[in-house]
């Protein structure tokens, strides 16, 4: 019988190509995403009292739509900052739940309720997405030299504003954004967030984001501190390409870097916490909104993601079975020892990276073994997000349907507002 060279064994070639690819992938991802000490927040000790006129005025703008589960904790934490010169502007974007009532209670009963200003919107103009429009309307009321954009599902330590503003001023940053601590109390939170973080940090590594020579730009919409004069100079969210974006933080950061302003993204997990999603359904809807549009390389890169995601999340765990079946069909091609070595290399690289990542996110180490489950779910999310955008069906969020720039204004609250008439498009209530 003619002796076959090992290169003629396609199963063996594929096995080792896959093993090298998986190990190389996790090494590269770790190298690109591991934190740099200089990109961390310099946390200042909490002050027992505040001096009301020290430092520039900061206008904190919080867009909120149906946030009754989050808004009290968020606004309370903002009203209790140890920096003395700021105002809080909450933009109630047509909420139909108890958000408005809670805001009224805070304004009336909190000791610092005079800092709170509530702007209530009735409808959404054409060619705008909800969050950019809400922030834009909030900036029209803002008086500060600095603007802080934050989300209603965040919680802020008392020294968060003073620490971030002090560092931004020292560094002469134009946009200063903090990475936040993800609150992950439930099973699906712990399964999904590490995979989401892997994908985001792989495409937007902090070292490149903070490199002024790099075109890579992103910000964390949960905490964006920006100079008012810089925001106005670029046209803010009224800028045509920002009005309807679903990636308001990334696209604002991209414009900032393109215009030559300085962007600094730092780790602020000690100062800002966020509880993004409370169920698997919310996880699916939230990530589906951004999955396709958030990919840097367009459709081609998304297709590569759809092919590659199962290879680095599912395949390493089923490789032993595949190797065994291949060995049974092609006797002598792949031995049990060889298959075990390849499998061991892949799983060691994957689990080592995931244990490190889980530690960063304060997730138990053993959730590394949920990688196949998370990979399968995100494969579905990315696939549906891509299909919905490309077929113009759009992705839904907060009762509105978006299609990467177009907004189908079909929510009941908005239709009712439109029927009332165009006069008095916005209504504001203020208590200072």
- Spell out the SS3 assignment of 249-300: HHHHHHHHHHCCCCEEEEECCCCEEECCCCCHHHHHHHHHHHHCCCCCCHHH
Q: Concatenated DSSP letters for 27-87? A: HHHHHHHS--GGGB--PPPPPSS--TTSS--EEEEEEESS-TTTHHHHHHHHHT-S-SSEE
Task: Quote the CA–CA distance of 363 and 46 in Å, as a whole number.
Answer: 27
Per-residue model confidence (pLDDT) at position 423: 33
Residues belonging to the chain: 432
- List, as one string, the DSSP characters of 334-354: S-HHHHHHHHHHHHHHHHHHH
Average confidence (pLDDT) over 405-423: 38
Arithmetic mean of pLDDT, 161-181? 97
DSSP letter, residue 107 = H
Distance CA 364, CA 353 (A): 13
Alpha helices in 155-247 (DSSP H): 160-171, 187-203, 206-209, 228-233, 240-243
Residue 2 covered by a domain? no
Cα–Cα distance for residue pair 164/178, rounded to 1 Å: 8
In a domain, 255, yes or no: yes
**Is residue 315 a contact partner of residue 388, using CB atoms and an 8 Å limit?**
no
pLDDT band at residue 295 under the 50/70/90 scheme? confident
| Residue 236 in domain | yes
CA distance 208 to 93: 34
Task: Give me the pLDDT at residue 328, please.
Answer: 52
Do 204 and 301 touch, CB atoms closer than 8 A?
A: no
**Residue 348 falls within a domain, yes or no?**
no
Domain contains 360:
no
CATH number at residue 215: 3.90.550.10
Is the model's pLDDT at 123 over the cut of 70? yes
Task: With beta carbons less than 8 A apart as the criterion, state whether 402 and 128 touch.
Answer: no
Residue 50 in this model has a pLDDT that exceeds 70: no
| Phi and psi based region of residue 55 (left: phi greater than 0; alpha: psi -120 to 50; beta: remaining) | left
Segment 160-177 shows an average pLDDT of 97
**H/E stretch holding 2:** none
Main-chain dihedrals φ then ψ at residue 225, nearest 5 degrees: -105, 120
- At residue 357, the pLDDT reads 96
- Phi/psi for 369 (5° steps) reads -85, 5
How many Cα neighbours within 13 Å face the side chain of 223? 31
Residue 225: inside a domain = yes
Report whether pLDDT(54) > 80: no
| φ/ψ of residue 400, rounded to 5 | -125, 150
Strand order in 407-408's β-sheet?
395-397, 400-402, 407-408
pLDDT at residue 430, as a whole number: 39
Task: Count the domains in the chain.
Answer: 1
Q: Is the pTM of this model over 0.75?
A: yes
Inside any domain, residue 212: yes
Please indicate, yes or no, if residue 371 is contained in any of the structural domains: no
Looking at residue 417, its pLDDT comes to 32
Predicted local confidence at residue 413, as pLDDT: 33
Say what the pLDDT of residue 219 is: 96
The confidence score (pLDDT) of residue 419 equals: 37
Structural domain for 61, as ranges? 37-185+200-278
């Amino acid at each position: 019988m003619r002796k076959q060279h090992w290169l003629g064994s396609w199963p063996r070639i594929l096995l080792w190509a896959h093993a090298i690819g998986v190990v190389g992938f996790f090494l590269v991802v770790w190298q690109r995403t591991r934190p740099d000490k200089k990109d961390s927040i310099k946390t200042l000790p909490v002050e027992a009292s505040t001096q009301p006129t020290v430092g520039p005025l900061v206008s904190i703008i919080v867009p909120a739509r149906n946030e009754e589960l989050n808004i009290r904790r968020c606004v309370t934490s903002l009203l209790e900052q140890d920096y003395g010169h700021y105002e809080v502007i909450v933009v109630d974007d047509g909420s139909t739940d108890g958000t408005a009532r809670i805001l009224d209670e805070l304004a009336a009963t909190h000791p610092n309720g005079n800092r709170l200003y509530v702007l209530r919107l009735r409808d959404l103009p054409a060619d705008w997405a909800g969050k950019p429009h809400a922030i834009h309307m909030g900036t029209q009321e803002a008086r500060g030299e600095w603007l802080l954009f934050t989300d209603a599902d965040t919680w802020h330590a008392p020294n968060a504003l003073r620490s971030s503003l002090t560092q931004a001023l020292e560094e002469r940053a134009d946009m200063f954004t903090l990475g936040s601590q993800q609150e992950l109390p439930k099973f699906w939170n712990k399964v999904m967030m590490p995979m989401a973080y892997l994908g985001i940090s792989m495409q937007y590594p902090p070292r490149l984001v903070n490199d002024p020579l790099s075109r890579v730009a992103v910000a964390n919409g949960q905490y964006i501190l920006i100079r008012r004069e810089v925001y106005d100079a670029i046209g803010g969210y009224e800028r045509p390409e920002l009005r309807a974006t679903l990636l308001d933080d990334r696209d604002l950061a991209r414009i900032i870097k393109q215009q030559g302003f300085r962007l600094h993204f730092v780790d602020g997990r000690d100062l800002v916490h966020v509880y993004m999603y409370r169920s698997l359904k919310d996880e699916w809807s939230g990530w589906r909104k951004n999955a396709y549009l958030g990919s840097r390389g367009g459709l081609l890169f998304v297709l590569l993601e759809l092919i590659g995601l199962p290879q680095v999340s599912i395949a390493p765990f089923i490789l032993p079975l595949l190797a065994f079946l291949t060995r049974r069909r092609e006797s002598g091609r792949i031995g049990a020892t060889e298959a075990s070595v390849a499998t061991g290399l892949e799983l060691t690289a994957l689990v080592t990276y995931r244990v490190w990542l889980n530690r960063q996110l304060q997730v138990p180490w053993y959730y590394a073994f949920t990688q196949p489950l998370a990979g399968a779910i995100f494969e579905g999310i990315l696939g549906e997000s891509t299909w919905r955008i490309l077929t113009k069906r759009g992705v839904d969020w907060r009762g509105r349907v978006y299609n990467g720039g177009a907004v189908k204004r079909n929510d009941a609250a908005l239709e009712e507002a439109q029927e009332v008439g165009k006069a008095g498009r916005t209504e504001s209530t203020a208590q200072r």
